[in-house]
Amino acid sequence: MNTITENGSTLVRIKDLHFQRGPKRIFRGLNANIPRGQITTIMGPSGTGKTTLLKLIGGQIKPSQGSIEVDGLNVASLGRSDLFALRKRMGMLFQSGALLTDLTVFDNVAFPLREHTKLPESLVRHLVLMRLHAVGLRGAKNLFPAELSGGMARRVALARALVLDPMMIMYDEPFTGQDPISMGMLLELIKTVNNALQLTSIIVSHDIQEAMSISDYVIIVSDGVVVEAGSPAQLKGSTSEWVQQFLNGLADGPVPFQLAAPDYADELFNSAGDA
Note whether residue 226 is domain-resident: yes
Q: What is the CATH number of the domain that holds 242?
A: 3.40.50.300
Q: What is the per-residue pLDDT for 134?
A: 86
Note whether residue 57 is domain-resident: yes
Residues 6+ apart with CB under 8 A from 14: 30, 31, 32, 33, 34, 57, 66, 67, 68, 69
CB count in 10 Å sphere of residue 53: 26
Q: How far, CA to CA in Å, does 216 sit from each of 191, 196, 258?
A: 10, 15, 35
Note whether residue 31 is domain-resident: yes
Mean pLDDT of 217-233: 92
Note whether residue 135 is domain-resident: no
Note whether residue 68 is domain-resident: yes
> 3-state class of 22 per DSSP?
coil
Q: Between 172 and 259, whose confidence is greater?
A: 172
Note whether residue 43 is domain-resident: yes
What whole-number distance in Å separates Cα of residue 88 and Cα of residue 113? 10
Q: What is the tally of structural domains in the chain?
A: 1
What whole-number distance in Å separates Cα of residue 234 and Cα of residue 212? 11
User: Does residue 13 register a pLDDT over 90?
Assistant: yes
Q: What is the per-residue pLDDT for 4?
A: 45
Helix (H), strand (E) at residue 235: helix 232-236
* Spatial CA neighbour of 37 closest among 13, 11, 56: 11
> For 62-103, what is the HEC assignment?
CCCEEEEEECCEEHHHCCHHHHHHHHCCEEEECCCCCCCCCC
Mean pLDDT of 87-108: 86
Range(s) of the domain holding residue 244:
1-75+207-275
Note whether residue 215 is domain-resident: yes
pLDDT class of 67 with cuts at 50, 70, 90? very high
What whole-number distance in Å separates Cα of residue 246 and Cα of residue 238? 11
Q: What is the pLDDT of residues 155-200, one digit of tens each?
A: 898 899 888 889 999 998 888 777 788 788 888 888 988 988 889 9
pLDDT class of 257 with cuts at 50, 70, 90? low
Note whether residue 160 is domain-resident: no
